[in-house]
Every structure is written in structure tokens, then in C-alpha cells.
Amino acid sequence: MTLLADRYQLEATLGAGGMGIVHRAHDTLTDRIVAIKQLRSDLARFQPEVFERFAREAEALRQLNHPNIVQALDTFQRDGEHYIVMDYVAGDDLATALKHEPKMPISRAARIAIEIADALTRAHYLGIIHRDLKPANILIAPDGSARLTDFGVAYLGERDRVTRGGITIGTPDYLPPEVFNNQRGDERADIWALGVILFEMIGGQHPFSAENLPSLMLNVLINPPPDLEELRPDAPLSLVDLIYRMLAKEPSDRIPTARLVGVGLETVIQRAQITPLPTDMRANLGQRFQPPTPVQQRHNLPAQATPFVGRDGELRMLGLMLEDPYQRLITLVGQGGMGKSRLAVEAGMRTINRHISHTDLFPDGVYFYSLTQISGIDKLLTLIADGARFQFYQGESPKSQLLDFWSDKRALLIFDNCEHLTSELDLISDILYAAPAVKIIATSRARLDIAGETLLTIEGMDFPDMLTVDLSEYSAIQLFVQSARRSKPGFQLRPIDFNAMIEICKLVRGMPLGIELAAAWVEVLSLPEIAAEIAHDLDFLGTEAQDAPERHRSMRAVFGHSWELLTPEEQQGFSRLAVFRGRFTRQAGQAVTGATLRQLMTFVNKSLVRRDADSGVYQIHELMRQFAEEQLEAAGELEAMRAKHSRYYIEALVQLRRDMQSNRQLERWMDIYADRENVRAAWLWAATNGQFVPLADSIHSMGIFFDMRTQYIEGSALFEQICDLLYKHPPDPDRDRALAWLHGWVTIFRTIFRQVASAHEHLAAMREAVNRSRDPETHAWLNFCIGLVERILGHAPSSQEYFRRAAAEFTALGSPWDNAHALLNLAVSSYFRLESRQTDISMGILAADEALSTLESLGDVYVRAHVLEERGHLATLIEDFDRGLALMEEAANLHRTVGNQLGVGSTLLKLALTRAVVGQLEQGRVAAEEAYALYRDANNLAQIATSLEIRARISFFEGKFAESAELAQEVVHLSLRLQMPEYRISALILRGRCEWALGRLGPCEETFRHAYIAAEDINHREDMSIALAGAILVKLAQRNLADADALIEVLLIMAEHATDFNQIALATSLRGRVMHMLKQYEEAVDHSLRGLTLLRDSSRVRNSYVWDEGLRHEFIALVTQGLVETYRALGRIDDARQTVRDAVALAQRSNFPAVIVAVVISGAGLLFALGQTEEAGALLARQIENPVGFAVERYRASALLARIRDQIGDESFARVVAQGASLSMDDCVNLLLERL
């Protein structure tokens, strides 16, 4: 046997082709069977391009490492021969398999296709296009898995130089139309080939089979594929639809990526319950070769399916206007169908792709908003916020929040279809006023009459008045040819048609939509016939609609022409589609109107309906929809279709309630978001026509959706609109059941924004509706809503009681998701103080754990993220920090998966505080800054204030007192703006502590005074106590004992009246300090020990009042220092030593540097008193140089050092200071404990 490269022993010839021979061989080095491809030596010598193809295959296979691609193992040359060593795949290729089984089982075909799509995803990601995908190049392994091979003609990105001009690469049967048109195929050429193969596997025949090459080209370029539904009735419609989309003749209409093909096939498998691939073969499908996550782009311009044509003059003018700082509002005015929307989008896209005048005009983004379905300021607010990914928050009005969000942005906003707006225009004007660097492009059929508006009138595209040498230089002609090729690939404008072409352009006045619609009929009519039809309709409209503007008559002429050329069956099908708002799926179109898949394809081919290449959803131009709706009404079918439309979407919502509480939650969430306008229309029809039962059954789904999206404004507006419609009907139990659900959700939305009066109104209306309906589910819902209102208003006892009732009732009703939702809120309410001034953390943990168990069994993600967040927080309250951190990290990741930015931010802030408490200050700072950045981008002022305060607390923990004070002051300013006194009080107290730490006693006392007054105004006694304690510290530092003692009496009275644990601890500790300063040592010891015992009981401290851990340790250090001095005065040295040891241990656990410094200074004072002068001096010298220490403590250290210097002399003192400078803080603590 022949041995190649001293290791490959040839065993058999597997096959031979035009380029060479494939051998089976034994690799003696690895003891495995391999395949070796040998290039024909004559080809290598006389056809160098073939050798290059062989080399490119080797290079491609070396880059590709994928379980569904045959892998290259080695390449070598021997005696002028070239070889590639590859994996050996036993079994046949797909071509052989299709000979034995022309029509494969759906499951097998889907599995093969999804594996090849996965392989192509990897190849395309690396810039490799196969270009010769066919059944013979797909090998089927014994386990049934598919392997892609033969990359001999692959395109390797910029390195591709083999293809000669005019040479078609690939097997003709699998080439797409663009390649036959001498265009280079991109990744979509592989998608076409895979579509052909999939058609073969399902339909049992090639979709474009022909006896010769010219006939094949004709079929591929012009003829549609056979009806796959007839060839394979058992094939799921979603699979048939997917194949048709892969075989779209225009590349821009084809599914654009192999990844989307794989996703589509996965969906087919799931919905058809086809047995999926083994997990070991399909592990992490769709993620294995995912490229790095791109930076989020700050724009939302809609993708365009076709290239932009013409309008060069208008684009130049728009560019100049956008550069002009004085032109803030540019309105593109023109009749419907003139292409205003497309022009605006193109202008926006060009500012992104190439910055005008090399300047980044809009670094904060370009945003597109379609206003076709918008009516009312609330919907417009939500639309604008949603497009910019801004989430409303508690505090200011939504409008104020949105205006503030844009106020410092340099952005371009494109508002499309503004002509129907009235009061909503005020918001556009307000944006211009509030945001001086924001520019707006509006499209409208009439001027908006807003101050500062600049008009740019959009007329028809340019076209010749008479025959010219070159028609192609006119944009109207270019658009017609481009559009015609979508209906008839390969269409060419012939000289014989020039006159008719010019006539068509004249008749539609160069209107782009009219040109596109006219071009759609080139497949069945000649250009003179199209011109004649349009002219005929124009004459008719001229006699029937003399009062209509001429431009509107020409538009209706195009619609009328398109309508008349449809068959009666197609007319009925198209008019029925008018019931849809915005978009609709194939399934919805078929279920509501009865339209077949081929009918929908026909409407797309005739440009009556557009189809998104990525998602496969359909959309009708709004003007055409209105025209079709007129025809539907004239046929007497409008109300019947609206009823079917309403029933379809409401039934879908009822199903969604189950799905949104399962592992399909995120998928269904996006379905609702995409179909929200259809849902709105369905609801309005149902409410108007008294369809109470289905409406009531679907409300909870929409409430959950709006809650997930934090779209509380839009949710309130829609629900209140439905309420108004329902109240027009006579009382009915089912009507009242619907009203109970609606009022409940509005109650929640209003409460979130602290609109308490409105919330109570809706709660009262809900209670009445529940009483009338006597429905047990809405009764449970009522208890939940009351509990939420009570919790947000701070009424913990009643809140917990209502949540318990709701949870029990939902359990009895068999509603586990709602039960878990109630338990979540019960858990949150557990760390709010009860009337006994105690919390019930253990109860909260039990509730959260029960909720988690339920949600995990359901597959829920959204609520589970919230429960994990709160369960983690509860764990930290019992000092189970490791578990708490792990749970909150998991919660943050789930919030990110859902896209709940508010949830991400709130979890990050909890993580930040917890990490600071456990000493992970840097990680805590990073988490707080990430949350701050997130809220800053969303301009959520309330959460910006929260994140700033937490950053300030972490800075305080780090000993960066000046930085902490500045951040706290920012929070004070924000709280005044937000009118949120709780935020102001907390920030003032923190700032006061910073002033104390910095030794600025005057400003400190004034700050605590303001905090006390602000807390007194809203009766926050706990905060009054803390502010009062801060003021007492100042009095003690000033040795104003009389005022300090008087304030302590006030503090003790407040504490005893409130029976609050922390207030008693503060008052008792401070009284001990006063007693020491008055030299009443026994009383000082008694009060100090009682205070210290209370402060050291961390669990009782937390249960009493959730306060800052740093504050507790500050007071522990203060009491310790006083107690040590008191014991010394009493001669109780052993007690003093033990007090210091205990304080050191607690300070180390606190991870609070300033507290450790304070305790070391106290211990050093004790050492000095015990005669260990030099050791005390070294410790003190180190502390006065430590910037994280409290100023008051450093002053004490300086005073002691002065006494030590006087005692030991300058020379010894210098040695002591040098020794201290060499000590780390750990060294200081160890030295102190050693000497004690």
C-alpha cells in the first residue's frame, strides 16, 4: 500500500471529480481513518486558478472549526502533488440520500437544514462564503448528523482573487438570480442554495428544475417555485413560509443571515413538536459562534429593504439645514406617497454613516418615531421614551422627565406622519424649547405651525418631459426599473417603451409610491397598457372628485388601477387585510382574513404589502390600508372582519397570560410589543361592542406587559380609555369583572408614580366593581392592589395582611404565578417596620423562598429576577453576605436578560452597599457607578439621586469625606427638584457626618439642624433622632455640656415614646459620654455599657431600623473611646484593655477604615497611660498621617503626641515617628493587641 508523507497509508479510492481524487487512508501516527483529497497534477500545472481554488479550500477548512463542517487536519505536497487531509465521514452524501428517499420526513429534513445553517453561520462570521452549496457537498454521518464539505470555490473575503470577470462560480442548479445577472453573490447566495436544498428534501423535487441551462436560468430569474403546500400537505406552514423567504428572488427580500434561518427552523421544530437534535450535538445552538456583543447604537432607524434612489438635491438641502444651528425644526411637507418618510430616514442614516462636514452632529443618537397610530399626549410620551430606551420613574411628571432627558442631548428626532396631531404638537414644541441641541425632522401633509418651523416641500421625483438621450439619469425612471425588477427579475427598459415610461411618470406626477405600484404590474402588462389604465382612472376621478387636489387624484388613480387588476378573490383578500394596524404575521393574516400564503406572496410581489426580510412579518402602507378599508366597508364586510380581528388578538392575549407566566415569557413579551397596535384596536372594538368576557380574560396579560415594560403612562391611558367605553354599557357582572381588572392595574400604575389621590379613586372604583361582580379572582386582585398601595405608602402592617390574603386566595384559585407575585411583595414589606418598631426578616425569607420555588417550576424570568433581588437583600440583613451577593448577582443577570433597566439598577445599588459593608469597597464603587451611568443615560432623576447617595456612602466608608460631602450635596439639590423630602433628609444627614469627619463643626451643626427640621416636617422620627445625635456630637466636641445634655433629654423622650431600639441606643450612648465629661464615672460606665450592648447587637439594630452600618460603627468607636477613658479614671485597667480588644475585633469586621483608626487611637491612649510611651507614640504618629481618620480623633492623637514629645525629647520622638511611618494598619492593630 502507498504511504504518503510517511504517515498516511492509502486504503481505497472514495471518488473522483473534475479537480482530483479523494482517498480513504489510515493515519498511522494517530491511528484514525482520514480522507485525503488529491489535486490532479495536470490541472495544477496548466490551470493555475484551479490550484488556487484547491489552496483556498485548504485555507478555509483550516479556519473553520465546527461540528457540522468537515475539518482539515493537514496539508502537504509530495512529488509536485498537492493534498488536503480531512476528517473521514462514513456514510453517503445528501444527494445519494435523496435518491433513496426523495421526500424526507419533516423532522429529518429540518435537522439537516438547521445543522447546515449553523455551519454557515460560523463560515459567514469568518467572512467565508461557500458558493457551491448542494446536496453532493453535504455528507451524512452514521449518526444522522450533516457535515458541510468542499469549500473549493469559497469566497474568503478580501483575499478572493480567483474568479475571472464573467465566470459564474458554483453549480448552476443552486445559484441565485443575482449570480445569473452577473452580480457577485454574498452570504444570501448560500441562503438561496440552502433554500433550494430544503425545498428538495421537503417537496421531493428541485424547485426550478429544467432540461437545459437557459430554461433553468429563466425559472430561477422569473418563475415562482411550485406550490410546496400542495407537494407536501403535511409540512408546517411556518416551514413552507421559511423556504419561500429563503427563495426570494431579490436578495434584499431574502432572509439576510444564516443565523436567522437557524432561528426560524428552531421555531418550526418547537411549534411542530419535531424531535429536536440530541443535546450533545446541538449544545448551545445559536450561541457557539456568536460574535462579540456590539456596542449599543444610539439610534433606532428602521431597516430598509431596498436601496435609496434619487433625491440628491433634497438630501443636500437637508444636510445644510441640519448643519445650521438656527434651523431646529425641519418639516418635510408633501402629499401622501411622496416618499417623505424614506427621505427623512435616509437623511438620518447619512448623519450616522458619514458625519456631515466631518463633524459628529448627533452623538446622542438619531431616533425615528412613526406617529401614524398616535393619538393623545400619553401615547406620544411613551412612544418617544420607548424609542430612546428611557424609562419613567417616580417623582416629576412624565412630561417633565422626558423633557429633562433630552435637555442636554445632541440628537436628531424624526417624527413621521404628523398631519393628524393637534394638542400633541405642544410636546414637540416643548422639546425644542427644553433641549437646545436637539433637532427635529417632521414629515407631514401640512405645515405644523410651530414657532421656528422650516418647510421643505417634497414634490415628485424628477422625470423627463420628453424623450432624451439617457432616461436613466432621472430618479423616477431609476425607481421604476428597480421596483419592476422585484416583480419581474431581469426587467430592462426598452427604447420602444420610453414614451409610455414618461407618460406613467407624468400621470403619477413622479410620486414614488405611485411609481412603485405601477411598476408592480410589469409582469402582466406592457408599459403602454399600464399608462392607459392609469390615465383611464385619472379621467374617472376627474369627473367624480373635482374638489380633490390633483395630487390626491393621481394617488387614488394608482390605487384604483392596482385594485382593478386584482382578481375578485384577491380583491377580497387584500381588502380584508385592512383590519390590521401596523404589522401582522402570516398566522394572523391567515386566521383573520383567510388569506393563503400564496396570496400574501402575490400581494408582496405586487408591492401592495411589504414584508420584513428579518422577521417575516407583513405591513401595509397606511394610505393603501385606508383605501382597502373603504373597499371592505363598501363590500359590507368591515364589521365582520373587525370582530374576527378582535377575537383573534384577544384569544391570543388569553393564551399569552399562560405563556407569560412560563418559560416562553420573553418570547411572548416581544410578541405583544410588536402587535400592540393590533391589540389596542382589538380591545377598543371589544369594549365598544360589549364583548365583556374575552376582554376581562385578557386584561391581566396586558397589565403584566405594561408592568414589565415599565410603560405605566401608556398602560394607564389605554386602561382608562377602555373603562370609559365599558361604563357606556349597562351594569353586568362580566363588565364589572373587566372593570375590576382595569381599575386595579391603573391603581398600581398611579401608585408607582405616587399619584395617591388618583390611585385611591381607582381603588374605590375597583372595590365597587368587585362587589358587583362577586368574582373570586378579582377579589384576590383587589387584596393585592390594596397591599401594594399600603406598602408604597409605608403602611407595613396592613400591607402584609393584604398580601397574605391575596396569596392565599390566588393559591385557592390555582393561580401560582399571581400567588408568587403576592409573596414577593410580602417579602419586600417584611423589612419595613411594624407598629412594634420591629421588622420580620424571617417571615420575608420564607415568603421569598416559597415564591422562588413556584416561579422556578413555572419557568418565569421576570418576577423571579425581582424575588432573587429581594431574597438576596434579605440574606444580607441577617449577615449571610455570601448568599446575598450570589443571589443579587443572579438577579442582575436575569434583569439584563429581560431588559428591565430599573431592575438592573436597583440590584446593582443593593450589591454596591453590600460589597461596601463586607469590605469590597472597589467592587461596591464599580457597581454603584454602573447603576449611576445606567440611570443617567435614562435620565431617571430619582434613581440618579439614589445611586449618588450610595456612591457618597461608599466614599465615606473609604475615608474620602470631601468627595462624599460633594456627592451628598448633589443629592440634596436633586431632592429639592424632585420634591422628595426623604432623599433630602438622608443626604443632609450624610453630609453632616462628612462635615463631622472633616472637623468642620460649624457647618456640621447647621447641616444637622436642617436635617432635623426637614424630618420633623414629615414626622420622620428616626431621622430626627439621627440628626439630633449629630448635633449632640458637635456640642460635645465644643464641650458645651449643658446644651448637649438638654438635647439628650429630648432624644431620650423621643426614643422612649417610639420604643425604637436604635434611638434608645443612641441616646444612652451619648448620655454616657456626657457623664464621663462631667466626671460622673460610674453613671458613665452604666450608660456606656448599655449603649454599647445595644449597638453591638447588629441583628436587633437592623430589625429596628434599616440604617447605615457605618453610623453604627462610628458610635461604637465613640462609646469605646469614652468607656476606655472612664475605666482608666476608675483604675479598672483590665476592663479598659478588654474593651479595646473587643473594639478592635468589631472594627476589623466592620471593614470601615476610619473606625479602625479611631479604635487604634483609643488603644494608643491606653498604652500611654500604662507607660508604654514609645509604642503609643509610634501608633499615634501613624494615625495622624492617615487621611481616612476622623478629624476629631486625629486632633486627639496630635495632642497625645505633643505630650509624648515633651516627655521623651526630640531625638527619641523623631525615632518614634519614623517607626510609626513604617507601620501598616495591620501592623498597628497587631502591635496594639500585643502590647495590651
Q: Which residues are catalytic?
A: 132
Cα gap 1155→957, rounded to integer Å: 9
Please, are residues 398 and 417 in contact by the beta-carbon 8 Å criterion?
no
* Strands 8-16 and 3-4, sheet pairing: antiparallel
For 1095, 1146, 1164, 1184, the CA distances from 1140, given in Å and listed in that order, are 16, 10, 10, 19
Strand order in the sheet with 610-611: 583-584, 618-619, 610-611
Q: How far apart are CA 796 and CA 782, in angstroms?
A: 17
Beta strand pairing status for 329-333 and 155-156?
unpaired
Distance, in Å, from the CA atom of 240 to the CA atom of 258, rounded to the nearest integer, reads 17
C-alpha 441, offset from chain centre? 26
* Nearest alpha-carbon partner for 1052 in 1014, 1090, 1082: 1090
Cβ atoms of residues 749 and 741 within 8 Å: no
C-beta of residue 937 within 8 angstroms of C-beta of residue 921:
no
Whether the Cβ atoms of residue 60 and residue 156 lie closer than 8 Å to each other: yes
For 830, the 3-state DSSP assignment is coil
- 245, 254 Cβ separation under 8 angstroms: yes
How would you label 39-70 residue by residue, b for 16+ Cβ within 10 Å and e otherwise? Answer: bbeebbeeeeebbebbbbbbbbbeebebbbbb
- The counts of H helices and E strands in the chain are 55, 18
What would the DSSP string read from start to end of 270-288? HHHTPPPPPTTTSTTTTTT
DSSP string, 217-246: HHHHHTPPPP-HHHH-TTS-HHHHHHHHHH
Name the β-bridge partners of 441: 330, 414
| 237, 600 Cβ separation under 8 angstroms | no
Q: Of 114, 247, 103, 111, nearest to 174 (Cα)?
A: 247
DSSP state of 500: H
Q: Report CA-CA distances (Å) from 334 to 310, 474, 547, 1160.
A: 17, 20, 18, 79
Virtual torsion, Cα 898, 899, 902, 907, nearest 10 deg: 60
Distance (Å, rounded) from C-alpha 1131 to C-alpha 1194? Answer: 25
What residues contact 768, with CB distance under 8 A and at least 6 apart? none
Q: Do 25 and 34 meet the contact criterion of CB atoms below 8 Å apart?
A: yes
Q: What are the distances in angstroms from CA 169 to CA 53, 130, 151?
A: 11, 10, 12
Give the three-class secondary structure for 610.
strand
CA-to-CA distance for 1175 and 1194, rounded, in angstroms?
17
The DSSP 8-state label assigned to residue 7 in this structure reads T
Look at the chain and count its residues.
1236
Q: Convert 981-1045 into a string of H (helix), E (strand) and C (coil).
A: HHHHHHHHHHHHHHHHHHCCHHHHHHHHHHHHHHHHHCCCHHHHHHHHHHHHHHHHHCCCHHHHH
User: Which helix (H) or strand (E) is 368 found in, with range?
Assistant: strand 366-370
Dihedral angle sign, alpha carbons of residues 4, 7, 13, 19: negative
